[in-house]
Chain A
């Protein structure tokens, strides 16, 4: 049981390049999330998917797109990377069974540097 996995672990991009961050979970969770973590800012929600087939914007969605490929996988795409998108990106999942807030389970993160 791997939990939440993310690829790649580290990436360097040039301004204007595109890339997709991959996330997968093997816990049969319904909800998945993408966060970015910047020094002194905590974690900020980029996009989330409450269930397969649905996605919604979070606090900082500009410059990103997401795809909920199936129940297991939730990808984050940067179409034209900018230096302001240099950050650590975390994917998370939760069961979302309708009960009071479930725990979110986090992946190990992807460190992205945009030059």
Chain B
């Protein structure tokens, strides 16, 4: 069975500072990894995803994530955050072992960007 652990439930940062949101996963088969963002009172939308190939994945709004198979991690980074990045961020994993691709989500990290 697959699982996702987001190591920080809340991350407060100041505007223009760098940020890293941490995600570790476990799975016995090859995985596909995702980061979704949820702005206040909205549904989730995809930031980026890793399927194969280059381990550094670039997404929307200047975010990027690096897949590290040996450490089973997929941390999300942004070099300089804006107030508008305040949101909850969810890491998710899907594996290739089933007949239907289902996502397992982490519990979320609330990123708060302060002026």
Contact = CB atoms under 8 A, between A and B. Distances in A.
Real complex partners, A and B?
yes
Interface of A: 4, 31, 40-45, 48, 50, 56, 58, 90, 92, 94, 96, 100-104, 106-109
B49 A31 contact: no
Interface string B11-34: 000000000000000000000101
Contacts of A31: 100
A63 to B, nearest CB: 20
A58 B102 CA distance: 9
Contact of B51 (A40, A56, A101, A106): A101
B100 A56 contact: yes
B42 interface: yes
A-B pairs, top 10 by smallest CB distance, nearest first, are A106-B43, A42-B107, A101-B32, A42-B105, A43-B105, A106-B44, A101-B101, A50-B100, A101-B94, A103-B46
Given A101-B49, A104-B103, A90 B90 contact: no
Contacts of A43: 44, 90, 105
Contacts of B49: 101, 103
A42 B101 contact: no
Interface residues of B, number: 24
The main secondary structure of chain B at its interface with chain A is loop
A100 B96 contact: yes
B101 A4 contact: no
B61 interface: no
A41 B108 CA distance: 8
A108 B94 contact: no
17 contacts: A40-B108, A43-B44, A44-B105, A48-B102, A50-B99, A92-B44, A100-B51, A100-B52, A101-B49, A101-B94, A102-B101, A103-B34, A103-B49, A104-B103, A107-B43, A109-B42, A109-B43
